[in-house]
A and B are shown apart, each in its own frame.
Chain A
Amino acid sequence: MERECTAAVELRGIDFAYEQEQAVLREINLHVDRGEWVAIVGESGCGKSTLVRLLNALLTPQAGQVLLFGEELTVHNAPLLRSRIGMVFQNPDNQFIGESVEEDIAFGLEGLCLERGEMERRIASYAQLLDITSLLHKHPGELSGGQKQRCAVAACLAMEPEIVVFDESTSMQDERSRRELLDMMDHMRRQGKYTIFSVTHDADEMLAADRILALKDGRVRGDRSPAAFFADEALLRDCGITLPFRLKLEQELNLLGIATEDVAGGAARKRKHPSNHATAERGQRT
């Protein structure tokens, strides 16, 4: 039975190593509230994808505890808790099973033992949301990389999970699809019912998140707001992140004596502003 708990995810003293290899994650502690969006960033091989695979027991840590909704994740309760977490992987080919997109979405829904009518409703609804209705009867092999990724996202969301992990889900998308997916992630956050983890190298995705968890050599190197993260040059360097063109331009202007006094707004403001509602919604729920 679920206890009253505001935390969606807690990691306590996590260590993890793949077989016969050196530790990938060390002493990871993390507390993420329900409804938060946490972007996980860092250089290739720093442990980002490993970290999110611990959340649904795809991997088991050698030390420490993973708690979901206040309950420790164990081999016994993993199947039940796993149904509350959806994952969208880096490579959509890793999650295609069906002979058609529709079958693929249905596969996960069958696992939830839903009635046929409800399955059909969800397939139609999430296909429309992700703009893949015309692809439903296609074989995954006929789809381009970006189309595959949208189908993978639809299959995940159709299971209506409470925690959604996007593992570089925007990386293979073209610009229009990337922006649509980002807007959808923002919409999900505003609804307040999803807790989002997104492993990413995309600056817009980082800026849209509530928090940025930066990993370096398997340890937490920083846990900041996007504004604080992008203001910390040493942290950016450690995470293999260069300033986006626009921020670099502002920095250069400052160096040339053109002061940007609390330059702000625009895209981030548009994207961040709605999150006030999410905070308010969460405040009412908790």
Chain B
Amino acid sequence: MNGMSLTDGQHEKGRAAGHERETIIELRNVDYTYQAGSPFAAAALHDVNLKIQRGTLIGIAGGTGCGKSTLLQLLNGLLLPTGGSVRVLDHTLLPGMKKLRLNALRRRVGLSFQFPEQHLFEDTVEKDLMFGPLNFGFTREEARTKAAEALRSMGLGDELLNRHPLSLSGGQMRKVAIATVLAAGPEVLMLDEPTATLDSAARRELIALLARLCREEGRTILMVTHRIEELLEAADEWVVMNEGRIVFQGDADELVDRTNELREWGLAVPEQLRCWEEWTARLPQLAALPLPRTPEAMARVIAEAVRGSAGAPDAVRVSAPESIHRSAPAPGSESPSEAVNEARSGEWEHDLCATN
């Protein structure tokens, strides 16, 4: 696949708030080896080429240890390439260069680490949130305002400002860590598995926030995730990595066409696609249609197809595709052991029919 071809719709999505599509990140033949030159050298990236344009939301996926986190750390100068060149905004990072004057780059390119504790070192949440803005030259009052705004944007209340960061729960800590990056207002926001320890409602809220920052403010977002399905609707582009190489670059439609390879790369086939494949096996007329991204859209398309084939009696009676849930227990069997035993011993029904 050559570069990042976009569909018209995605061009529109990415061209938020009148921002021109300027290439702001470019990697050319980038290699990275940990402990290069030592007996413990471990290559993490091989010959990586990548272009990312301003104002796009990029999903980065790949199995454990494939080099995703290394890639992000090259983009704000935490790591320097051991081969090739990395250009980010107006900074170029080359092998062996001295890491001088990277503060300006890091102000514009924020990175939220995989483990939130790595962001939190002060004795209150507020101080942690103010650290970035103060470091980047904002006044104390401005930094305090930015801290509170960032915390609220993550759905957390001001009452946490005076808490010790390490007294927070895992999910709260994760949100505060992301807020510390948001507080500095970076142009490019990189998040390394930000949804990993969040509940599903908080995951959706975070992705909605990222999409808003991208569409309304023109920020560029790079998000590493193991769960393609959670970002399938929002991402403009996808980068898939495997064993230190970029094995796919393209949009969501192209990605979902590569089902078999996703499995080989250690990735989950998005749940949307699994459902769609199961329904397509029962209703072949669906195969010609594009993948609906939301459950609402998919239900509408399936309903039309079911009704369309309902001319003859019983014609619409189809086997329900595999489902991951069981029916609710009968009233009165609410106690866990009863409900579980009932579900375990019960027969599983697979029939599905259209009703009028």
Contact = CB atoms under 8 A, between A and B. Distances in A.
A224 interface: yes
Size category of the binding interface on chain B: 35 or more
Size category of the binding interface on chain A: 35 or more
A266 interface: yes
Interface string A258-270: 1111111111110
B193 A145 contact: yes
A46 B172 CA distance: 10
Contacts of A142: 34, 40, 42
Given A41-B199, A91-B115, 9 more contacts: A142-B34, A172-B193, A201-B197, A203-B200, A224-B334, A245-B295, A252-B298, A263-B350, A269-B326
25 contacts: A44-B172, A44-B202, A50-B169, A142-B34, A146-B63, A146-B64, A168-B197, A172-B196, A173-B64, A173-B226, A174-B64, A201-B171, A211-B336, A225-B340, A244-B271, A253-B299, A257-B303, A257-B356, A258-B355, A260-B320, A263-B350, A263-B352, A265-B323, A267-B322, A273-B344
Interface stretch (A75-83, A102-110, A175-183): A175-183
A38 B313 CA distance: 45
Interface string B315-330: 0000011111111110
A250 B42 CA distance: 47
Contacts, number: 241
Contact of B324 (A246, A255, A276): A246
Interface residues of B, dominant DSSP: mixed
A21 interface: yes
Contacts of A167: 170
Interface of B: 34, 40, 42, 62-65, 69, 114-115, 117, 163, 167-172, 174-175, 193, 196-204, 226-227, 229, 266-268, 271-272, 274-275, 295-296, 298-300, 302-303, 306, 320-329, 334, 336, 339-341, 343-345, 348-356
Interface string A170-200: 0111111110000000000000000000000
Nearest to A267: B324
Contacts of A251: 295
A29 interface: no
A227 B348 contact: no
A60 interface: no
A258 B171 CA distance: 37
CB-based closest 10 A-B pairs: A44-B171, A266-B322, A146-B64, A252-B299, A231-B328, A225-B339, A175-B268, A240-B199, A144-B65, A248-B295
Contacts of A237: 201
B202 A261 contact: no
A121 B328 CA distance: 45
B306 A258 contact: yes
Contacts of B268: 175, 178
A275 B64 contact: no
B273 to A, nearest CB: 10
A247 to B, nearest CB: 5
B114 A172 contact: yes
A239 interface: yes
Interface of A: 18, 21, 41-46, 48-50, 90-91, 93, 142-147, 167-168, 171-178, 201, 203-204, 207, 210-211, 223-228, 230-231, 237, 239-242, 244-253, 255-269, 272-273, 275-276, 279
Nearest to A19: B167
Nearest to A22: B159
A18 B345 CA distance: 43
A257 B343 CA distance: 25
A138 to B, nearest CB: 9
Given A45-B171, A176-B63, A223 B336 contact: yes
Given A241-B200, A246-B271, A176 B339 contact: no
A228 B356 CA distance: 27
A175 B267 contact: yes
Contacts of A178: 226, 268
Contacts of A227: 325-329, 339, 343
Contact of A268 (B62, B175, B295, B325): B325
A129 B34 CA distance: 28
A265 B200 contact: no
B205 to A, nearest CB: 9
A256 B300 contact: yes
Nearest to B345: A276
Contacts of A275: 344
A201 B328 contact: no
Contacts of B169: 44-46, 48-50
Contact of B325 (A48, A252, A264): A264
